[in-house]
Amino acid sequence: MSAKLNRQRLIKEILGSKMVGSQEELAQLLAERDVFATQATLSRDFAELGVVRIVTENGIRYVLNSDEAGKQISRLIGYEIISVSNNESLIVLRTLAGRAQGVAHFIDRLNKKEILGTVGGDDTVLVVPDKAKNIPAIIDFVKELMTNNQ
């Protein structure tokens, strides 16, 4: 097994059995098992594994993406989107400053067949639909995200 796969297997095992509130804490738990990782490596692993940070009654915790964590992320993403507009071929989302790339990443990870991809700047996301006729459905989806954040 490659070092990366072994590390990611251990991350899943640790997060499934312990409350981990920081990447530093996770790095220490991995080091106890002779697996060493930098914060940057853990961040990449988190993105690949779908690890998210949630707020629980016991504080902040990293968990593998589950339905509840996904709902929390969805609410956060909906809060970050300020407006949605379109022309005959593209959709433009305006976001809070500095949040466009996170919103674009979230939308890309949904793997919706109607969306070819996104491009995230600082406060603007360009959403490229697979077909112009799917623009209304994509806009409805984004507006639902926006209203579910309340």
d(CA 97, CA 119): 15
- Domain limit, last residue, from 65, 94, 113: 65
Assess whether 143 and 75 both reside in one domain.
yes
To which H or E segment does residue 136 belong? helix 135-147
- Domain limit, last residue, from 65, 99, 117: 65
For the chain, 150 residues long, the average pLDDT of each consecutive 10-residue run is 86 88 94 94 84 81 66 75 96 95 89 94 96 96 81
d(CA 35, CA 83): 44
- Domain limit, last residue, from 65, 88, 111: 65
Assess whether 49 and 96 both reside in one domain.
no
Number of domains in the chain: 2
Task: Annotate 30-73 with three-state secondary structure.
Answer: HHCCCCCCCHHHHHHHHHHHCEEEEEECCEEEEEECCHHHHHHH
Assess whether 81 and 141 both reside in one domain.
yes
Instruction: Tell me, yes or no, if the pTM score tops 0.85.
Output: no
Boundaries of domain holding 142: 70-147
